[in-house]
Amino acid sequence: MVGGGSDAFIGAIHRLAANMDGQIELACGCFSINPEISVSSGKSYFLPDDRIYRNFEEMFEKEEIGILGGVYNIKNGQVDFFKNLTKRKKEDKWLANA
């Protein structure tokens, strides 16, 4: 997960909604642009220390992430969509049209 730390208004709602059907497990994350908030948030979500990241670049480098999405850019107030920031290959069936 990127964002949704203890300082984020909507983060708790997204975590609750994602957990409702039991299909998603929060396995790792960078929860804030503030590294201290990211670490404290990850600890409060009961993640192991080695799965809590201080920046999303490190998380994408170390983890097998399989999700496409968007991030709200606080600098310009727009949603920046990203795709294939994962270690998965473009040949993966669900990434073929990304």
Question: What letter represents residue 47's amino acid?
Answer: L
CA distances from 4 to 31, 89, 96, 98 (A): 5, 27, 28, 24
Q: Give just the sign of the alpha carbon dihedral 29, 32, 38, 43.
A: negative
Residues 59 and 18 in one domain: yes
- Least confidently predicted of 57-66, 74-83, 89-98: 89-98
If asked whether residues 45 and 80 sit together in one domain, one would say no
Q: Would you say 49 and 60 are in contact if contact means Cβ atoms under 8 Å apart? A: no
Q: Which pLDDT score is estimated for 14?
A: 78
56 shares its domain with 84: no
- Residues 86 and 55 occupy one common structural domain: no
Residue range 45-62: mean pLDDT, rounded:
92
Mean of the per-residue pLDDT values of the chain: 75
Q: 39 is in which domain, residue-wise?
A: 1-63
- Provide the number of structural domains found in the chain: 2
Q: Give me the pLDDT at residue 57, please.
A: 86
Q: State whether 40 and 75 are in the same domain.
A: no
Tokens 């480098």 map to which residue?
A: 61
